[in-house]
Chain A
Amino acid sequence: NAGVTQTPKFQVLKTGQSMTLQCAQDMNHEYMSWYRQDPGMGLRLIHYSVGAGITDQGEVPNGYNVSRSTTEDFPLRLLSAAPSQTSVYFCASSWWQGNEKLFFGSGTQLSVL
């Protein structure tokens, strides 16, 4: 049972490049979400999904795209990376929306030059 797996762990991009952060969970969780962590601001919700085919915006969705084609996977796409997207990204999942037991991935450190 791997829990929540995020790849890659580190990534450096140039401004304007695109990339996908991967997130997979093997716990059959309905709810999955993406957060970004910035110094002095804690973690903020980017997008979330309550099940396959259903996604919605969080607090800071601009510049990010998500889809949920399977229960297991919830990738986060940066279509045209900007320096303001330099951050640590966390994927988190739980059995249902609003369930207080969230499982976090180990994070992705992204730098955009």
Chain B
Amino acid sequence: AQTVTQSQPEMSVQEAETVTLSCTYDTSENNYYLFWYKQPPSRQMILVIRQEAYKQQNATENRFSVNFQKAAKSFSLKISDSQLGDTAMYFCAFMSPHGSGNTGKLIFGQGTTLQVKP
């Protein structure tokens, strides 16, 4: 069974600095999707970035980028130029692709609470 582990329950960073959130996962599949979701105090689940395992190039979305290490089963999120609005809980998640018999289920890590300090 697939598992996702986020080993940092809480992190903090100064505004304008860079922070990296860690995520490791376990799977025997070769193709899959990995995600980072942001959950601000409003509770809304917001997709930050998505990576397809067959793509070697790391995904980027503005100030957010990932370091995807497939062999090491590692998927970290880097936030550059941190802003106060980045304060939130961040979840790493895994999904098997369509057609592999999966349920469409997202498997989530435990979450990392990020505090951006002024």
| Chain A interface (Cβ < 8 Å from any Cβ of B) | 31, 33, 35, 40-45, 48, 50, 56, 58-59, 88, 90, 92, 94, 96-100, 102, 104, 106-107, 109
With A58-B103, A97-B103, A104-B45: A43-B33 Cβ-Cβ less than 8 Å: no
Q: How many whole Å from B49's CB to the nearest CB in chain A? A: 12
Q: Identify whether the interface residues of B are mostly helix, strand, loop, or mixed.
A: loop
State in angstroms the CA–CA spacing of A104 and B91 once bound together.
14
Is B95 an interface residue, CB under 8 A from the partner? Answer: yes
The interface bits of chain B over 25-42 (1 if a CB of A lies within 8 angstroms of the residue's CB, else 0) are 000000001010000001
What is the total of A-B residue contacts with beta carbons within 8 Å?
A: 71
Q: Decide: B108 and A43 in contact? CB cutoff 8 A.
A: yes
Q: Decide: B108 and A98 in contact? CB cutoff 8 A.
A: no
Q: Decide: B96 and A44 in contact? CB cutoff 8 A.
A: no
The interface bits of chain B over 53-78 (1 if a CB of A lies within 8 angstroms of the residue's CB, else 0) are 00000000000000000000000000
Q: Decide: A106 and B108 in contact? CB cutoff 8 A.
A: no
28 pairs across A/B with beta carbons < 8 Å?
A31-B104, A33-B104, A35-B106, A41-B110, A42-B91, A42-B109, A42-B110, A42-B111, A44-B108, A48-B104, A48-B105, A56-B103, A58-B105, A97-B103, A97-B104, A98-B97, A98-B99, A98-B100, A98-B103, A98-B104, A99-B104, A100-B50, A100-B97, A102-B106, A104-B45, A106-B44, A107-B43, A107-B45
Q: Which residues of A contact B105 (CB under 8 A)?
A: 33, 45, 48, 58-59
Interface magnitude class on chain B: 20 to 34
With A104-B45, A106-B44: A42-B108 Cβ-Cβ less than 8 Å: yes
Q: How many whole Å from A91's CB to the nearest CB in chain B? A: 11
Q: How many whole Å from A40's CB to the nearest CB in chain B? A: 5
Chain A minimum-CB-distance residue to B43? A107
Q: Which residues of B contact A43 (CB under 8 A)?
A: 91, 106, 108
